[in-house]
Amino acid sequence: MAVTVVIPTTLRLFTEHRSEIELEGRTVGEILGLLSEEYPETKKALFDEEGQLRAFINVFVNDENIRDLKEFDTEVKDGDEIILIPAIAGGSGVESVIGDRKGEKLTNDEINRYSRHLLLQEIGVKGQKRLKAAKVLIVGAGGLGTPLAQYLAAAGVGTIGIIDNDEVEESNLQRQVMHGTRDIGRPKVASAKDSIRQINPLVKVETYNMRLTAENAESIISEYDVVADASDNYPTRYLVNDTCVLLGKPDVFGAMYQFEGQVSVYYAKEGPCFRCMYPAPPPAGLVPSCAMGGVVGVLPGVIGTLQANEVIKLIVGGGKNLIGRVVTFDAWNLKWRELKIHKNDNCPLCGKKRTITEIEDFDYEDFCGLTQQKEEEAEVEGIEPKELKRRIDEGEKITIVDVREPHERAIAKFPDAIVIPIGQLERRQKELDTSVDTVFVCKEDKRSILAVNTLREAGYTGPLYNLKGGTNAWAREVDKDFPIY
């Protein structure tokens, strides 16, 4: 049976960047086994040490999760698709999440401003008054938070809260169109508030120039009707989900990487939560972030606008929302997929035997592997950019290995470096001289630390270092002509 395995962008590092692979087999287990044989690096990404599918990976046959079928024994037929859906970051309409709470009477100015909504039978005056009465919290004022805030403000959501502790950087401007050049260096929440006022001065904006933490999440989220998760890290995603479940709030989820995005609504009152879909995050460092892998500028506009659409439907009531469904979008190949997700009875948060009942008692950094990652990073010996430059200038025998992707090296080549992708390190380790110091370089030193640990696990005995701060630190401290990206 010829079956197509669809490889998401985050895992294509292990399949020589192929997006689809055709294999022949009778069951999902057989197909994944063949995939691991053809591309051995995928085995480590997909399966843990016990050979079990990693909890951050979902496998679908067409639109059904194999967890809801026969797991690896699920039979496939000619022409089927096996779709791998990692964490990156069917349902019908529900009643309005704000219940019967009614907004104040619309003024003539509001009737004029929102007239295109009022002409829609599905929204009308009643729905617009609900939007006016609603309070929505946006977690993150970056790529996804930008279109979310803009369209919710334009739609007339009465109160918009925005939480983010970052400042606007020049590299944000390629996609975060709410911010402008003059905002560089300003808190993102301040820039976002100014933009919302320009769009709709009738909207009340609450800003929180801080991180969402286990200590403040409940007090902040409890003030809102809907939460839109526009964050960019796993601890925050699980924290948002858990707080929403415990407080009975819907979590309108969006995530993106390079050319791919996901949108869903996790609402434990009506369907599954985020933990039902992803019981555990990927090991720290395995799945790269947008900061490392990039993102096409229009993608957050598409995904964030879809999130705004889901928020509006939840407030107004009605429509076919994404509770129990996840929509994936591949912008480069212009492909949409809709996949069904179901409540997991074994979910520790919303299942039948709940073990997570307090947010403050849960260590999100440890759960997401960040504690271990920090320990591993501390164990990896680093070399400062100026020290590396000194050793190069003095002619010391040293091996520099660039583990960046080819398109990154096209931006700027690192001097005197050989190229070995991380996925090839284990089988190419004999190319390195164990008697010579080897220094790994990448953009921000995360992948170089992963490279050191990969070789150590493979039994390499020579001295290994990572360039502290990566090529960006090299550009700041050593070579001002080397671009920061």
Q: What percent of the chain has pLDDT over 70?
A: 92
| d(C-alpha 408, C-alpha 401), whole Å | 14
Q: What is the DSSP string of 9-21?
A: GGGGGGTTT-SEE
pLDDT confidence band for 361 (50 / 70 / 90): low
* Burial (CB count within 10 angstroms: exposed 0-12, middle 13-18, buried 19+), residue 261: buried
Q: Where are the domains of the chain?
A: 2-86, 134-373, 380-477
Q: Which residues contact 131 (CB under 8 A, 6 or more apart)?
A: 103, 117, 155, 156, 157, 158, 312, 315, 316
List the 335-340 sheet strands across, edge first.
Answer: 204-208, 159-163, 135-139, 226-229, 251-257, 260-266, 325-330, 335-340
> Which CATH code of 3.10.20.30, 3.30.2290.10, 3.40.50.2300, 3.40.50.1970 fits the domain covering 2-86?
3.10.20.30
Q: Which pLDDT score is estimated for 231? A: 93
Q: What percent of the chain has pLDDT over 90?
A: 65
| d(C-alpha 485, C-alpha 482), whole Å | 10
- What beta strand segments (E) does 29-152 contain? 57-61, 64-65, 81-86, 135-139
Q: Which pLDDT score is estimated for 283? A: 66
Per-residue pLDDT for 284 more than 80?
no
Mean pLDDT of the chain: 89
290 is catalytic: yes
Task: Give the pLDDT mean for 37-46.
Answer: 84
Per-residue pLDDT for 290 more than 80?
no
- What would the pLDDT profile of 203-253 be if each residue is shown by its tens digit? 999 999 999 999 999 999 999 999 999 998 888 999 999 999 999 999 999
Largest separation between any pair of C-alpha atoms in the chain = 79
Q: Which residues contact 469 (CB under 8 A, 6 or more apart)?
A: 385, 444, 445, 476, 477
Q: Which pLDDT score is estimated for 471? A: 95
Q: Which pLDDT score is estimated for 198? A: 96
Task: Give the pLDDT mean for 413-439.
Answer: 91
Task: Look at domain 134-373 and name its CATH class.
Answer: alpha beta
| d(C-alpha 357, C-alpha 354), whole Å | 7
Contact 125, 110 (CB under 8 A): no
- What would the pLDDT profile of 261-274 be if each residue is shown by its tens digit? 999 999 999 999 99
Catalytic position from the list 273, 276, 290, 347: 290
CATH topology identical between 2-86 and 380-477: no
Q: Which pLDDT score is estimated for 477? A: 96
| d(C-alpha 311, C-alpha 304), whole Å | 11
The 3-state DSSP class for residue 207 equals: strand
Using alpha carbons only, how large is the chain's radius of gyration in Å? Answer: 24
Q: Specify whether the backbone of 72 is left (phi greater than 0), alpha (psi in -120 to 50) or beta.
A: alpha
pLDDT confidence band for 467 (50 / 70 / 90): very high
Q: Specify whether the backbone of 396 is left (phi greater than 0), alpha (psi in -120 to 50) or beta.
A: beta
The 3-state DSSP class for residue 345 equals: coil
Task: Give the pLDDT mean for 87-111.
Answer: 75
Polymer length of the chain: 485
| d(C-alpha 89, C-alpha 232), whole Å | 7
Between 6-15, 176-185, 308-317, 360-369, the lowest mean confidence (pLDDT) is in 360-369
Q: Which pLDDT score is estimated for 159? A: 98
For residue 47, the tally of other CB atoms under 10 A from its CB is 15
Nearest CA to 274 out of 312, 316, 246 is that of 246
| d(C-alpha 286, C-alpha 45), whole Å | 7
The 3-state DSSP class for residue 265 equals: strand
The H or E element that residue 45 is part of is: helix 41-46
The 3-state DSSP class for residue 326 equals: strand
Query: Is 380-477 assigned to CATH 3.40.50.2300?
Result: no
- What would the pLDDT profile of 157-197 be if each residue is shown by its tens digit? 999 999 999 999 998 999 999 999 999 999 999 999 999 99
Q: Which pLDDT score is estimated for 408? A: 87
350 is catalytic: no
**Residue 198 bridge partners (DSSP):** none
